[in-house]
Structure 1
Amino acid sequence: MTAQASSVPNYDAGFVDNLTQNFAMQFLDRVAASADLEAFRYPRGEGWESVTWRQAGDLVEKLAAGLLSLGLQPEQRVGIASSTRYEWILADLAVMCAAGATTTVYPSTNSEDTAYILGDSESRVVFAEDDEQIAKLKEHRNELPHLGKVVTFDGTTDGDWIIGLDDLAKLGEAYLAEHPGIVEETARAIPSDQLATLIYTSGTTGRPKGVRLLHRAWVYEGTAIQVQDILHEDDLQFLWLPMAHSFGKVLLSAQLACGFATAIDGRVDKIVDNLGVVKPTFMGAAPRIFEKAHGRIVTMQAAEGGLKEKIFKRAFEVGIDVDRRKREGRSVPLLLGVQHGLFDKLVFSKVRERFGGRVRFFISGSAALNAEIAEWFHAAGILILEGYGMTENAAGATVNHPADYKIGTVGPALPGSEVKIGENDEVMLRGPHVMAGYHNLPEETEKTLTPDGWLRTGDKGSLDEDGFLTITGRIKDLFKTSGGKYVAPSAIESKFKAICPYASQFLVFGNERNFVVALVTLDPDAMAGWAEENGMAGASYTEIVNSDAVQTMVGAYVDELNSHLNRWETIKKWKLLDHDLTIESGELTPSMKVKRNVVEENNKALIDSFYS
């Protein structure tokens, strides 16, 4: 039977009928409405530089005019190969205002795939962050006949093929002198169904596929967040997510719709430090960030030992008990409430302070967040709103609301869109956010989009009576043991991460085998701390994970995991890998999803040996 939820209750979805605005005009309208308010801030030297909407608008206008002076035509593609930074935002907004279409390239993408993406998209201009990105373009220049100009943020210019961002702005100033008002005129003429973005999914198999997203998809995403009254002008976002990923872009669309300021720094190793300085009210992140933060805090307290560790553990026992009672509508006994108030001052306030002390909520997306980790944070007074979506629907399909959420679910459909459960419990989506199709891949498009506009997600899920969606996992990742029992790897994997604070990755295998096995990696930062506490300071990661003490410790966590699993799901054999998975090794996507097939292929002999 098919269940369906069309929108969050009590929200007027009539705005969908009037989605005539394009992303460029959404930006220009925001500049006009909030001219003197802060729009962005970014690191400069030891401090942060702040920019108003008017200042950002003036620079975007010059850059857009510069692109027009280079002959850019509507829907022609402009690549951005860069990490997340203020200039990435400027480049994207300039492309939008010049009526072009942004093609995103992760800075970690190898030169062959970079050339494929820019060639397949026929990109005319590329914004390249630095000399490393420029080198990829030079290496494959003969394969990029459409690429007429490279604009670099920090790289070396040659005054001809490669120019700087300031050079593009100067071209724009000259063009505006001859064509005053051309940028706004160009922006106003963009229809809502024009191509805005071509995002190549990093994918876990094969060549990346270009997802064609229209202006209306991004305008819808931002407006759907704005009408729910979730975010406001006085909020402050910290943005570190890869802007080459749809999750980053959807947060930009929300900013234009709601008018809040954004502090931008894509350096992942600086997230915790930056949170303390920026003190944001919200942030979007992948679950791995919350897993690392949870593991770090837990292991630091364990290292303290003694009374401090006992207080910490008791605080979370009480916090989780009180939190569950409140969410279930049960009363909190007086003594328990007094204990909770004391622990809030002693423990929880310090946890909140690590994230700047002002966070109203985090938004988790791009992969499944373990419910126990979400509960742990919630007990400390930190709300993580889990959402769901994919590049093919402009990132946002469902999300929990700060005033109406269910931990363990990814929330109901955004206002004005639909979610239903199709055959084999496949989650299906329909609405203004769904892609126009895959670039140059009509057969792939036909497989993914139904004739009546539903997007087949490939994810298995269920809807409850209130329309809240729960994701079970990727249909293709579910496997059946030789005994005929189905196993959902992601559910087991996330449980282990909640149990073991040192875990980085836990990958479960066992398709058509007679039992389930796992490959384990540990977080290098957490293990460095463990090594200092256990007489192995200075030892290599490989030496640490191969030590008897660590093997015994991980074995105990696996035993604990097995005590919570069905018999056929239990991990019979496991192995600690001598390295963590990384984006650079090709075993993680830039959005921190595991490329399961790559890891399985790289460790085929090891996995086979479990069964020999």
Structure 2
Amino acid sequence: MSDAQTLIENRPPSVAALFLERVAATPDAEAYRYPVPPSSGEGPDEWRSLSWAQAAERVHAIAAGLIELGVRPEERVALASSTRVEWLLADLGIMCAGAATTTVYPQTNADESAFILSDSESRVLIAENAEQLAKAADRRAELPDLHHVVVIDPAGVESGEWVLTLAELEERGAAYLEKHPELIKERVGAITKDQLATLIYTSGTTGRPKGVRLPHDNWSYMAKAIASTGLLGPDDVQYLWLPLAHVFGKVLTSGQIELGHVTAVDGRVDKIIENLPVVRPTYMAAVPRIFEKVYNGVAAKARAGGNAKYKIFQWAAEVAREYGKVTQDNFKRTGVHTAPFALAARHKVADALVYAKIRDAFGGRLRACISGSAALAPEIGYFFSGAGIHILEGYGLTESSAASFVNPGEAYRTGTVGKPLPGTEVRIAADGEVLLRGPGIMQGYHKLPEKTEEVLESDGWFHTGDIGELSPDGYLRITDRKKDLIKTSGGKYIAPAEVEGQFKAVCPYVSNILVHGADRNFCTALISLDEPAILEWAAEHGLRGRSYAEVVAAPQTVELIDGYVRQLNEGLQRWQTIKKFRLLPRDLDVEHGEITPSLKLKRPVVERSYKHLIDDMYAGTRET
């Protein structure tokens, strides 16, 4: 039996048990770092730390507080908060109480929040602030199971019988523990591997979201499987900003507990650029949109520096892509990252001029980034590869506890999602759909047996809904969502995500793009632009002071983007080419339900919202 198999097969029944083991093994080691804004509101944040023992003191108090409130094993406790250290402590507290966490995005509107709280039958809601509390308070009559709300930030909140602060919960828990000192050990010891640990509601593109039931064993398996890859170790520093309501953010917490390294946690996306040089992480996870924004930002900065600087950047970007491709290909053949002398010499110059500054912006110690949730455009992946920012793409779904595949360290291959985690099986169905089986797969959808049967076979194989290809040596490439594949009226199949990804690598101004063409005789696109980048361009091209909507409506902007569309089309098959496009009057966002909180495109919503623009592009054409 291999070391990986031994590690996985000897896993405890829960991450709660792993947490107690971690605290016992390294009580004084640093567990979490978190920012505290200055009281004056001016100046940089102060970063503070919690050791594993200090974290455990708070986690145990939260767990005991919930038990004192009457929460029983497997009963749901909802968490509606942005990513912050209290989210991690509360989630661990819920698990150590033997209960199950229902995750709610803070951006979720009151109607959907009420549905999730009701459908999950959550007994307690841990809300970040008065805004999150109000969503439940306004619907209290519809939530008979919700007995208490615990508020993390008490500003503007009046506590009482129904509402209490997190500090009050911890005080009650600490007092309860004094009378029952063995309580946590007993609760954690009683957890079985099949007991519900997490209920995550997927952001459905149509209809109500579905609750995905993930038992304790899923997270215990994930913790051990992540550790067994050898990608991370106890000396790593993770920068965690991803939404913890999303399965991608949540799985990172399990691996960290197993390995015992430091996690610096701050969910404020607008603080990422400021935080990276302070935290100096050795790894972080992100979604492709973040890497696209970094790439566009670097390009925009170079352009703002004048024509000479921009030409240097463009040259360096091409060198980076070539270097990334060549060194990865050589590693595949020989096991060594090498490049021909002339390319290596160009790369050395480009590194001094461009790449070193990019690495410094990431904190200077970044060994790797994990990218997931959606496909990363290969051209952007190769750029970062050549610049020394190694992006390891991974793959998984909420239904598979997030991390089913990941690229294996030095042997990573841009454009693939790597190999399956030890213990996970994969096969490709006759129609190209990726099927998964293993300890990370969900129990099913909450109270939806028919929906469960549609995707989960009796022998454990889960239908992902994604189309993919496996290389002879086990690397998976996802080509598209099965339901998103476009079939033109001419009978040709197109993977829109592939075309969209190529455009993002070509056009430094794009924010989002949706390719449309199902049952049509040619493809069109809806394009939204990155506001800071396009406004900067506008200021240099006679459009200074205009609003975003005015800039995208201007003929010179349309002409600019048309140039990039023509450049894209040069590399596509005839039936894939974009014949017409429209620029959207604003960017797509979570608030309008056009993208999910993990920044994935909701195609049906966007196509409905902008049906008039799509119809206009096909007006007067003969559809066959």
TM-score class, shorter: over 0.9
**Which amino acid is 2:257 matched to?**
L
Report the alpha carbon displacement of residue 369 of structure 1 after superposing the two structures with TM: 0.6
Between stretches 537-546 and 385-394, larger displacement belongs to 537-546
Report the alpha carbon displacement of residue 10 of structure 1 after superposing the two structures with TM: 7.4
Tell me what 1:483 maps to.
490
Provide the rounded CA distance (Å) in 2 between the counterparts of 1:326 and 1:11. 30
Tell me what 1:4 maps to.
none
CA 335–458 in structure 1, closer or farther in 2 if over 3 Å, else same: closer
Tell me what 1:216 maps to.
217
Tell me what 2:40 maps to.
none
Structure 2 residue 446 is matched with structure 1 residue 439: yes
Tell me what 1:233 maps to.
234
Report the alpha carbon displacement of residue 277 of structure 1 after superposing the two structures with TM: 1.5
**Which amino acid is 2:259 matched to?**
C
Provide the rounded CA distance (Å) in 1 between the counterparts of 2:357 and 2:546. 31
Work out which of the residue numbers 478, 483, 495 in structure 2 matches 1:471: 478
Structure 2 residue 560 is matched with structure 1 residue 553: yes
Q: How does 1:512-591 map to 2 (within 5 A)?
A: 512-591=519-598
Provide the rounded CA distance (Å) in 2 between the counterparts of 1:55 and 1:462. 46
**Which amino acid is 1:213 matched to?**
L
Structure 1 unmatched ranges of 5 or more:
1-8
Provide the rounded CA distance (Å) in 2 between the counterparts of 1:72 and 1:288. 39
Structure 2 residue 96 is matched with structure 1 residue 105: no
- The secondary structure found in structure 2 opposite 1:211 is strand
- The secondary structure found in structure 2 opposite 1:532 is helix
- The secondary structure found in structure 2 opposite 1:494 is helix
CA deviation map 1:22-64 (0-9, x unaligned): 1111111111112111111111022111111111011111111
In the alignment, is the contact (CA less than 8 A) between 2:526 and 2:583 conserved in 1? yes
Structure 2 residue 119 is matched with structure 1 residue 128: no
- The secondary structure found in structure 2 opposite 1:266 is coil
Provide the rounded CA distance (Å) in 2 between the counterparts of 1:36 and 1:80. 28
Between stretches 305-314 and 181-190, larger displacement belongs to 305-314
**Which amino acid is 1:569 matched to?**
Q
Provide the rounded CA distance (Å) in 1 between the counterparts of 2:385 and 2:517. 34
- The secondary structure found in structure 2 opposite 1:359 is coil
**Which amino acid is 1:590 matched to?**
P
Structure 2 residue 458 is matched with structure 1 residue 451: yes
Tell me what 1:87 maps to.
86
Provide the rounded CA distance (Å) in 2 between the counterparts of 1:505 and 1:601. 16
In the alignment, is the contact (CA less than 8 A) between 2:150 and 2:165 conserved in 1? yes
Provide the rounded CA distance (Å) in 2 between the counterparts of 1:538 and 1:356. 34
**Which amino acid is 2:174 matched to?**
E
Tell me what 1:190 maps to.
191
Provide the rounded CA distance (Å) in 2 between the counterparts of 1:144 and 1:565. 53
Provide the rounded CA distance (Å) in 2 between the counterparts of 1:387 and 1:307. 37
Tell me what 1:373 maps to.
380
Report the alpha carbon displacement of residue 311 of structure 1 after superposing the two structures with TM: 2.5
- The secondary structure found in structure 2 opposite 1:36 is coil
Tell me what 1:313 maps to.
314
Provide the rounded CA distance (Å) in 2 between the counterparts of 1:581 and 1:145. 36
Provide the rounded CA distance (Å) in 2 between the counterparts of 1:335 and 1:569. 36
Provide the rounded CA distance (Å) in 1 between the counterparts of 2:579 and 2:618. 10
Structure 2 residue 32 is matched with structure 1 residue 40: yes
Structure 2 residue 61 is matched with structure 1 residue 62: yes
CA deviation map 1:320-376 (0-9, x unaligned): 333333222296343432332232122110111111111100000000111110000
Tell me what 1:392 maps to.
399
Tell me what 1:30 maps to.
22
> Could you state the TM-score of these two structures normalised by the residue count of structure 2?
0.95
CA deviation map 1:276-317 (0-9, x unaligned): 221111111110000111111012112212332232222233
Provide the rounded CA distance (Å) in 1 between the counterparts of 2:151 and 2:574. 56
Tell me what 1:71 maps to.
70
Tell me what 1:141 maps to.
140
- The secondary structure found in structure 2 opposite 1:423 is coil
- The secondary structure found in structure 2 opposite 1:12 is helix
Q: How many residues align?
A: 604
CA deviation map 1:569-602 (0-9, x unaligned): 1111110010100111111110001111000011
Provide the rounded CA distance (Å) in 2 between the counterparts of 1:82 and 1:50. 20
In the alignment, is the contact (CA less than 8 A) between 2:324 and 2:383 conserved in 1? no
Provide the rounded CA distance (Å) in 2 between the counterparts of 1:165 and 1:259. 26
- The secondary structure found in structure 2 opposite 1:150 is strand
State percent identity of aligned pairs. Answer: 52
CA 607–306 in structure 1, closer or farther in 2 if over 3 Å, else same: closer
In the alignment, is the contact (CA less than 8 A) between 2:151 and 2:165 conserved in 1? yes
Provide the rounded CA distance (Å) in 1 between the counterparts of 2:461 and 2:343. 49
In the alignment, is the contact (CA less than 8 A) between 1:157 and 1:164 conserved in 2? no
CA 128–261 in structure 1, closer or farther in 2 if over 3 Å, else same: same
Report the alpha carbon displacement of residue 11 of structure 1 after superposing the two structures with TM: 6.2
CA deviation map 1:209-268 (0-9, x unaligned): 000001111111111110121111111111110000000110001101111111111111
Report the alpha carbon displacement of residue 178 of structure 1 after superposing the two structures with TM: 1.2
CA deviation map 1:437-492 (0-9, x unaligned): 00000000011100100110000001010110000110100021111111111100
Structure 2 unmatched ranges of 5 or more:
38-44, 620-624
CA 335–456 in structure 1, closer or farther in 2 if over 3 Å, else same: closer
Report the alpha carbon displacement of residue 529 of structure 1 after superposing the two structures with TM: 2.1
Tell me what 1:423 maps to.
430
Tell me what 1:180 maps to.
181
Provide the rounded CA distance (Å) in 1 between the counterparts of 2:545 and 2:392. 39
> Could you state the TM-score of these two structures normalised by the residue count of structure 1?
0.97
Provide the rounded CA distance (Å) in 2 between the counterparts of 1:346 and 1:511. 45
CA deviation map 1:110-159 (0-9, x unaligned): 11111110111110000011111111111110111111110001131322
Provide the rounded CA distance (Å) in 1 between the counterparts of 2:568 and 2:164. 56
Report the alpha carbon displacement of residue 531 of structure 1 after superposing the two structures with TM: 2.6
Provide the rounded CA distance (Å) in 2 between the counterparts of 1:310 and 1:502. 17
Tell me what 1:5 maps to.
none
Provide the rounded CA distance (Å) in 1 between the counterparts of 2:544 and 2:49. 41
Provide the rounded CA distance (Å) in 2 between the counterparts of 1:80 and 1:545. 39
In the alignment, is the contact (CA less than 8 A) between 1:508 and 1:516 conserved in 2? yes
**Which amino acid is 1:245 matched to?**
H
RMSD between aligned alpha carbons?
1.4
Structure 2 residue 5 is matched with structure 1 residue 13: yes
**Which amino acid is 2:107 matched to?**
S
**Which amino acid is 1:211 matched to?**
V
Tell me what 1:352 maps to.
359
Tell me what 1:259 maps to.
260
Report the alpha carbon displacement of residue 20 of structure 1 after superposing the two structures with TM: 3.4
Q: How does 1:131-170 map to 2 (within 5 A)?
A: 131-155=130-154, 156-170=157-171
Provide the rounded CA distance (Å) in 2 between the counterparts of 1:401 and 1:178. 49
Provide the rounded CA distance (Å) in 2 between the counterparts of 1:318 and 1:176. 61
Report the alpha carbon displacement of residue 498 of structure 1 after superposing the two structures with TM: 0.6
Report the alpha carbon displacement of residue 404 of structure 1 after superposing the two structures with TM: 1.8
Provide the rounded CA distance (Å) in 2 between the counterparts of 1:522 and 1:149. 43
- The secondary structure found in structure 1 opposite 2:409 is coil
- The secondary structure found in structure 1 opposite 2:103 is strand
Provide the rounded CA distance (Å) in 1 between the counterparts of 2:489 and 2:342. 52
Provide the rounded CA distance (Å) in 2 between the counterparts of 1:37 and 1:157. 37
Provide the rounded CA distance (Å) in 2 between the counterparts of 1:119 and 1:146. 7
